[in-house]
Structure 1
């Protein structure tokens, strides 16, 4: 991929032609034309305000629910590192979290502060920015239940605070503007006892370990649950458990997970997902929607 872009100066780190496979859970896919790891929100804002508006920008969190196509991602991929991974309790029920903070860090900080209601984030392999964008949820709760507001840097470089009501949340979807990067979020839970919060986190962790292929190269839940249905059950009933294309396989343990057995390309993984969708449609008449984001260009 050509890296001939005129880019503004930054205080953080800009890397041309940066491989993304090591940064995503599937361990497959191409490179970012440019990877930008900003020093802080001001650095990000200044960079985006000076960047040619025609250059596409994409935020990357932990890369857990993502297929990066083999031809890579044109433009700039923004990855929020340690400066954005802080979490602080500001009162008895409220947390301020950096956009790069993991669900494990958020839930652990909440536990230590005696804030209940955010335990479900322990089970989602992602960052606060991804939770806000995708209305991440599990075990009967979702981001919309606990988000007060978030601060974003828009593609123009403008910094803006958006209240939860402005995000148009539905199941695994928000109306967050294209190219916006979530740099922080304010979450509100309820008072709780740290021991009880830890017990709930342990229960969630054990349930995930028992039911999901956590030790595989995977992308998490592949398809959204259709209204009144479970995606995994539809995939199973269509005979797709263990189905393979190359080294991409439908998990034997949980059929709403695709896994990379070792040498799968992103094209293999995406083709397998489309084959599953076709078989489910033929068997049940249900058109499964992708929950995993697919970005970049095919090779």
Structure 2
């Protein structure tokens, strides 16, 4: 498979909600791009119950590529979360930082902090701006459920016929300052005629060596369509041991139904829940109604209301809502 097709297949599943970058330099096989976005909204969002101005997940990134010949392109990317609503404090925190190499037939090798192969499969419902897949970000740096810290990955894609494709990815993390031991993951997915099916496994010890536990996850996903283009449906189901903080055995669910109209309006409803499978207790469950409207390619407005559907611990229900805009740099 050509480099541009492999890169497109990876980007489609491993870049989070939405990606945008402007190329500012392109000469003699080298490119440089700057991207990211700033977003702001008003509502009851996050941990605070008061109505206030909030940021959702603003970021800034810089990336470059270099064609070194023999079918190999080397690339590097740094991405930082912007913390701009509170004066003083830390303005930037690291989201991504890696160096990669892609061969037109040999696949893609990346080292650094990056989107994990596990997320290639699990992130198919993590697409709306305001409310999406929370459980993927529980201790993500260590488990590699979203972005993985200090990770080495290998991915490749193979075309099957005119409409089908098979993707696979491998991930490895070494010892991480006593927080985790060696961890690894594998991701497999297949797509054809708008349908996609995926499976991923993540395993390895977490915790100090004396009391470390094996934290494993098996996750499957299914989707149809392309988010933001007509009908899109996706579902994710995870079965875990010591993977979700404080739970020996857990189940995770996420479902997303979205429909994009031709006028730039995209409507969606999602559902998410985490269960303590060992004790048959719901940790949390929630559902959100959301709308996103593309004003221009660089400007998207959004609104969402998330219903807290309760848990089995008697926690007071806490609905959330936000109205805002995202501007792509």
Higher strand fraction (1 or 2): 2
Higher helix fraction (1 or 2): 1
Between 1 and 2, higher relative CO (CA 8 Å, sep ≥ 6) is seen in 1
